[in-house]
């Protein structure tokens, strides 16, 4: 506060916001309560949020304004193509809509037209994601079970492996878009 420009109050340090005080963490816990309805849902939601923020590659977490969707942002996903090139796929928003029993994916960096379907507006967000839906050979039931149990952090762990094209979850031959269609980020040194 200034008094005629002569007196100034001492500077105050900004308050330290810890993970425990994070308003998104608290909103996440209430989202968890609304989704699961279990007695211990608030505490489990707080723990699940803490687990979710520790997952490598998760950079943001939010709850939709209507509190019906959990939104998880990822860092830029890069994938090695044939051991010679590092391909940049892009950053994703993973949208969990538990009330609709749906998970969708949006590449916020780029999408590619999908082959002959381009006239229908179909786009690949990832070699294994077409129009927001992921194609996984295994792991999808584990993701849906984790979501049903309110363990979004567990679901996101599997999703991050699939986005990075871990062979346990996606088949290289069954992609919507060939990996060679994605931009080269760098050459891989052997």
Encode pLDDT of 15-35 as tens digits. 544 566 788 899 999 998 888
The distance between the two most distant Cα atoms of the chain, rounded to a whole number of Å, is 74
Tell me the C-alpha distance between 3 and 21, whole Å. 34
In a domain, 72, yes or no: yes
Q: Which of 57-71, 116-130, 154-168 has the lowest mean pLDDT?
A: 116-130
Around Cβ 10, how many Cβ atoms within 10 Å? Answer: 4
Residue 117: band (very low, low, confident or very high) from pLDDT cuts 50, 70, 90: very low
Q: Structural domain tally of the chain?
A: 1
What is the domain extent for residue 69? 59-182
What gap in Å lies between CA 115 and CA 123, rounded to an integer? 9
Mean pLDDT of 76-83: 84
Which of 71-80, 82-91, 136-145 is predicted with the least confidence, judged by mean pLDDT?
Answer: 136-145
**Does residue 138 form part of some domain?**
yes
Residue 2 pLDDT more than 90?
no
Least confidently predicted of 3-17, 85-99, 168-182: 3-17
51 vs 47: CA distance, rounded Å: 6
User: Is 80 exceeded by the pLDDT of residue 129?
Assistant: no
- Residue 178 confidence class, pLDDT cut points 50, 70, 90: confident
pTM above 0.85, yes or no: no
**Within a domain: residue 123?**
yes
The pLDDT of residue 123: 76
- Rounded to whole angstroms, how far apart are CA atoms 92 and 1? 44
What is the pLDDT, as a whole number, of residue 118? 45
State the Cα–Cα distance between residues 159 and 51, nearest whole angstrom. Answer: 15
For residue 10, being part of any structural domain is answered with no
**What per-residue confidence (pLDDT) applies to 1?**
32
In order of 28, 30, 153, the CA distances from 25 in angstroms are 5, 9, 13
């Amino acid at each position: 506060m200034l008094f005629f420009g002569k007196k100034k109050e001492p500077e105050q340090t900004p308050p330290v916001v810890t993970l425990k005080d994070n308003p998104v963490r608290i909103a996440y816990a209430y989202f968890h309560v609304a989704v699961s309805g279990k007695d211990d849902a608030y505490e489990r939601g707080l723990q699940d949020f803490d687990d979710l923020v520790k997952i490598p590659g998760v950079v943001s977490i939010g709850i939709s304004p209507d509190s019906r969707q959990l939104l998880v942002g990822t860092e830029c996903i890069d994938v090695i193509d044939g051991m010679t090139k590092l391909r940049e796929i892009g950053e994703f928003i993973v949208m969990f809509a538990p009330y609709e029993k749906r998970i969708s994916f949006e590449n916020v960096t780029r999408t590619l037209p999908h082959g002959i379907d381009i006239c229908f507006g179909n786009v690949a967000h990832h070699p294994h994601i077409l129009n927001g839906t992921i194609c996984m050979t295994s792991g999808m039931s584990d993701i849906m079970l984790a979501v049903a149990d309110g363990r979004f952090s567990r679901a996101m762990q599997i999703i991050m492996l699939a986005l990075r094209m871990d062979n346990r979850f996606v088949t290289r031959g069954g992609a919507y878009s060939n990996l060679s269609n994605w931009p080269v980020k760098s050459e891989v040194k052997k």
